[in-house]
Amino acid sequence: MSYERHLTFNLRMRGLSEPEIAGVLDEVRAHEAASENPANAEFGTAEDYAKQFPRKKRRTRGSAIVIIGGVLAIAYILFVILLAILFRVDIREYVGPITLWPGLVVILAGTLAGFLTDYFQPARSSRAR
């Protein structure tokens, strides 16, 4: 993957806002164009360059997806318990012998979707404001 994508992902994980990320990417592009050297030769790896920026508490779109997946899995588990207690319905007849399997699938899918969203979401250009 490209240096810019790795840098964008690492800056998101550090909590920088999209306009801040766009500004950093513009600086990297400008420096790369002026020096005619690749960005990793000038700044080091994307991970190392991103470490110079302070961590901030900010939720990314991907972390919101992970949280939603967790909430849905917990809601499923509560639903299964309520069905068993109130209506005497055994959910294993519908989902198979492993009752919590659908909840696990929702958690794993949410985690994967959250990671991929943060990784592949392109950074906005600072010129598009």
Whether 124 is covered by a domain: the verdict is no
66 and 51 belong to one structural domain: no
**Predicted TM-score (pTM) of this structure:** 0.77
115 and 66 belong to one structural domain: yes
78 and 38 belong to one structural domain: no
Domain of residue 69: give its range: 61-119
Count structural domains, the chain.
2
Whether 127 is covered by a domain: the verdict is no
106 and 89 belong to one structural domain: yes
Per-residue pLDDT of the chain (129 residues; tens, 9 = 90+): 599 999 999 999 999 999 999 999 999 999 999 998 999 999 999 999 999 999 998 889 999 999 999 999 999 999 989 998 999 988 888 888 877 888 899 999 999 999 999 999 988 776 654
Alpha carbons 66 and 54: distance in angstroms, whole number: 23
78 and 29 belong to one structural domain: no
Structural tokens at position 54: 């302070």
Residue whose C-alpha is closest to residue 8's, from 61, 86, 73, 57: 61
Query: What CA–CA distances, in Å, run from 110 to 15, 71, 116?
Result: 20, 10, 10
Q: Give 126's DSSP letter.
A: G
Query: How many H-runs (helices) and E-runs (strands) does the chain carry?
Result: 7, 0
